[in-house]
Amino acid sequence: MTPWSEMLRVAARLGVGPEAFWRLSLREWRMLTERPGRTAPIGREDLRRMTEAWPDD
């Protein structure tokens, strides 16, 4: 079950009004509520490019 009421309370604390809240994509919501310093995991394609650029010798 999605905790809509808690999500709306968080949005209100962040200054996001109800209309703007309901227009947010899931990705946008996650970006707004992500803790600072936390980064997304690296994707497979990014890892492949890095291993090509900096191979282990």
Cα 22 from chain centroid (whole Å): 16
| Residues near 33 by beta carbon (within 8 Å), at least 6 away in sequence | 10, 14
Span 50-57, average pLDDT: 87
The average pLDDT across 38-43 equals 74
**pLDDT at residue 1 above 90?**
no
25 or 39: which carries more pLDDT confidence?
25
What is the pLDDT of the chain when averaged over all its residues? 87
pLDDT at site 25: 93
CB 21, CB 8: distance < 8 Å? yes
User: Quick one: pLDDT at residue 38?
Assistant: 62
pTM of this prediction? 0.55
